[in-house]
Structure 1
Amino acid sequence: MPLQQFKEEGLLFNTNFLDQTSTSGLYAYRGELVLVEGEIADEKGHTKPPVEVMRGAVLLGDEKLKLLVGSIDDIASINTLTEKYKDLFSPEMKALLYVVNIESPAQVEIEGITFVLIPLVQGVPWNEVIDELALEKSDFKGQSSADKLVTLLDELKSYKPKYPTAPLADVIAGATDVKREGWGAV
C-alpha cells in the first residue's frame, strides 16, 4: 500500500492524519508529501528536513494512488513528483494540483493521467478543492477525516473542468516568477 510505504520511507511530512477509510484496505492521508528528501544530518542517520514538498497533500490509495491533490511552488516540480511516484499512480487516479507560478489554469496529461493545474499563490489545497467542486460542509457531515477524502474522490470522478488542455512543456515554459505568499511571525 503506497501510503504505508511512504510512511515507512519517511516520505510523509507534517502529517495531519494517515488513517484507514471505512473501505477495507483504502487509506487516506493529509499533510505534506516529500518530493526531494533532506540530506543525512549525522552519523546516526537522522535526516535534515525535506528540500522540496508538495504542500497540503490530500492522498487516497490502496495498492495504487486513486487521489492526488496538493500544492507545488514551481510547475517544474511536477516532473519531480511524477518521476518519483508514477509507478504508484492508478490509471484512474484523479489529480488536481495548485501551482504558485502558473498564470492560468490548464489540464495536462502525464503518464496517461489528466492533471488539472490551477494557479494559487496562497491558500490551503483542501479548502480550495472544496470550493472548486462546490462542496458544502453538509456533504461531509458525520464522516471521519479519512472518509471525507472518499467523498472528495467521488465528486472528482464527475468533475468536468472547463480549463484548456495544453502540453506540459508549454505550461512549464510559461511559468511566471511569482513566489508563494507567506504569513506568520516576522
Structure 2
Amino acid sequence: MLLENYQQQERFWMTTLFGATTKSDLQAFRGEFTVLEGELNAVAGKRTPPRALLKQAVLLATADKLLMVAGSFESVDELPEFISLFKDDLDPSCVPVIFIENLAESCQIDAEGNRYVLIQYREGAVWNEVSEFYYIDKHDLKGLSSEDKVLKLYEAGKEYQPKFPVKTLEEVLATKTNAKREGFGAV
C-alpha cells in the first residue's frame, strides 16, 4: 500500500491517524507529512527537522495512488517540491487542496497533469476549512470511524467546484507575500 510505503520511508513526521477505511482497498492518514527531509546529522545518527512539511495533512490512498491530498505549507516555495516528488503518486482525479500562508490570492493551477486548489491560509485548522468547503457538517460524520471520516470528506470533495481564478505556478511563485499564519494560545 502506498501509505505504508510512505511510513517506511519515514514521511510521517507526526501521525494523528493511520489506518484502513471500511473500503478495504483504501487507507487514510492525518498528521504532518514530510515532503523534504532534514539534513542527516552523522554524529547523532538522526535527521534535523524536515525542510518542507505538509502540515495538518489529510491523505486517502489506494494501493498505489493518492485519491485525496489536503494540508498546509508555510510557503508557496514548498509547492514545487511536492509536485515534483509526488506527481506520479497522484490519481488523475486527485485535486490537492493546499492552504498556503504566503499565498497572494486563492487560485487554481494545473501542474504535471493535476489541478491544484491553493487557498490563502491565515488562521484555522485544515480539517475544518476543507469540511466547510465541501459542505460537511459534524452530524454528517457522526458514528463514523476516524478513517471513514476521511473517506466521507473525499467523497464530498468529488463535487467541489472552486471558483478561484486559474493561474500558472510561475505566477503564484512570483506573487508570494511575506504573510505569516496568525498564532493563538498561551504566550
Shared fold (TM-score, shorter chain, > 0.5): yes
Compute the RMSD of aligned alpha carbons.
Answer: 1.4
- Whether the aligned pair in 2 keeps the contact of 1:35 and 1:54 (CA below 8 Å) is yes
- Whether the aligned pair in 2 keeps the contact of 1:94 and 1:153 (CA below 8 Å) is no
Show CA shifts across 1:140-173 (max 9, x none): 1111111111111111111111111111111111
- Larger mean CA deviation between 171-180 and 34-43 belongs to 34-43
- Rounded to whole Å, the distance in 2 between the matches of 1:134 and 1:12 is 28
Partner of 1:23: 23
> Aligned residues, how many?
186
- Rounded to whole Å, the distance in 2 between the matches of 1:44 and 1:76 is 29
Show CA shifts across 1:78-118 (max 9, x none): 10111111121111112111111112210101111111111
TM-score by length of 2: 0.93
Letter in 2 for 1:148: K
- Whether the aligned pair in 1 keeps the contact of 2:99 and 2:118 (CA below 8 Å) is yes
Partner of 1:170: 171
Gaps of at least 5 residues in structure 2 are none
Partner of 2:122: 121
Partner of 2:60: 60
- Rounded to whole Å, the distance in 2 between the matches of 1:42 and 1:182 is 34
Partner of 1:3: 3
Letter in 2 for 1:114: R
Secondary structure of the 1:115 match is strand
Letter in 1 for 2:130: V
- Rounded to whole Å, the distance in 2 between the matches of 1:50 and 1:176 is 22
Query: 5 Å matches for 1:47-126?
Result: 47-62=47-62, 63-126=64-127
- Rounded to whole Å, the distance in 2 between the matches of 1:35 and 1:96 is 15
Letter in 2 for 1:51: R
Query: 5 Å matches for 1:127-166?
Result: 127-166=128-167
The offset of 1:134, in angstroms, is 2.1
- Rounded to whole Å, the distance in 1 between the matches of 2:68 and 2:100 is 17
Partner of 2:34: 34
The offset of 1:46, in angstroms, is 2.4
- Rounded to whole Å, the distance in 2 between the matches of 1:164 and 1:52 is 26
- Larger mean CA deviation between 64-73 and 165-174 belongs to 165-174
Secondary structure of the 1:76 match is helix
Show CA shifts across 1:51-75 (max 9, x none): 2201100000011100000001111
Secondary structure of the 1:183 match is coil
